[in-house]
């Protein structure tokens, strides 16, 4: 299956729109692992064990591993995900944005070294920065479009006066991703839950693309508004929550607390989906 089909299958199997982001911060680990970067794999694997039947995707953020020289633990985690949750697609959150031979190496890193099903990309160097990833059949490339941070408006909300209809930059990106850039049906978009009206606009412009939606939980995005704006039966949404699940407790009950937080988020999303 390609990435989009994997998402739809996982959504059906686990009755879920939830993605758990794996952003391991050793300073927030429960005792006795607090501050111990050698336990990154152990922490993430326990989160996976607690939530793997509740999600439609996992999303490890590469910086949290690289900052602690823990890329080997990320490789170990990716292999663990393949063994224990093979039906759950994995998105490598890397936000790469280079071109040419460098982009080819980043694609190889994501899809060969880490065996990811999809990777997040910055599209602001144009199609040249995306095309190397599209050479990997069935893999997903998820482009930053309208991000959840306030500073995203500095560029993404600017009007393009020389483009027909004078769209905002994020609207132009959505059209390109739905249309001429989406050569093999591999593209998706990142759109923040903190902007539900603009999320709805992206869905209207890109009616079939998977949308990766950060911003619920700790960032304050509204789950119900997110689902109403973006979910379609044949167009998956990937609603990501990281800190609210990973650090639901730092006590002895931290795995159970993570599972409870994931259940609550899944139920909230499903309630909105079912009206």
Q: Which residues are known catalytic residues?
A: 95
Compute how many other C-beta atoms are within 10 angstroms of the C-beta atom of residue 84. 12
Side-chain half-sphere CA neighbours of 206 within 13 A: 35
Q: Between 169-178 and 196-205, two packed helices, what is the crossing angle to 10 degrees?
A: 30
For 13-36, letters b (16+ CB in 10 Å) and e give ebbbbbbbbbbbbbebbbeebeee
Look at the chain and count its residues. Answer: 275
Sheet harboring 237-241: ordered strands across? 57-60, 18-22, 237-241, 211-213, 187-191, 140-146, 118-121, 91-96
CA dihedral (79, 85, 86, 89) positive or negative: negative
Query: Which bin fits 39, alpha (ψ -120 to 50), beta or left (φ > 0)?
Result: alpha
Query: Which helix (H) or strand (E) element contains residue 173?
Result: helix 169-178
210: which strand partners? none
């Amino acid at each position: 299956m390609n990435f989009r089909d994997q998402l739809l299958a996982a959504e059906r199997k686990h009755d879920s729109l939830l993605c758990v982001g794996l952003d391991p911060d050793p300073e927030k680990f429960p005792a006795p692992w607090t501050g111990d970067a050698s336990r990154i794999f152990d922490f993430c694997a326990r989160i996976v064990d607690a939530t793997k039947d509740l999600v439609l995707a996992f999303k490890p953020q590469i910086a949290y591993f690289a900052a602690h020289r823990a890329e080997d633990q990320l490789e170990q985690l990716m292999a663990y995900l393949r063994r224990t949750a093979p039906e759950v697609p994995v998105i490598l959150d890397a936000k790469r944005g280079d071109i040419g031979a460098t982009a080819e190496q980043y694609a190889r890193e994501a899809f060969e070294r880490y065996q990811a099903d999809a990777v997040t990309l910055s599209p602001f160097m144009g199609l040249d920065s995306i095309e190397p990833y599209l050479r990997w059949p069935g893999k997903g490339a998820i482009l930053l479009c309208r991000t959840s941070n306030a500073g995203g408006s500095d560029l993404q909300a600017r009007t393009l006066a020389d483009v027909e209809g004078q769209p905002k930059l994020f609207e132009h990106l959505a059209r390109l991703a739905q249309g001429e850039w989406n050569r093999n049906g591999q593209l998706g978009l990142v759109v923040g839950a903190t902007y539900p009206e603009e999320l709805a606009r992206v869905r209207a412009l890109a009616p079939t693309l998977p949308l990766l939606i950060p911003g619920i939980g700790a960032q304050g995005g509204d789950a119900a508004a997110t689902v109403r704006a973006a979910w379609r039966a044949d167009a998956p949404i990937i609603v990501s929550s990281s800190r609210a699940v990973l650090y639901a407790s730092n006590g002895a009950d931290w795995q159970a607390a993570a599972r409870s937080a994931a259940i609550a988020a899944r139920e909230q999303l499903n309630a909105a989906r079912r009206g």
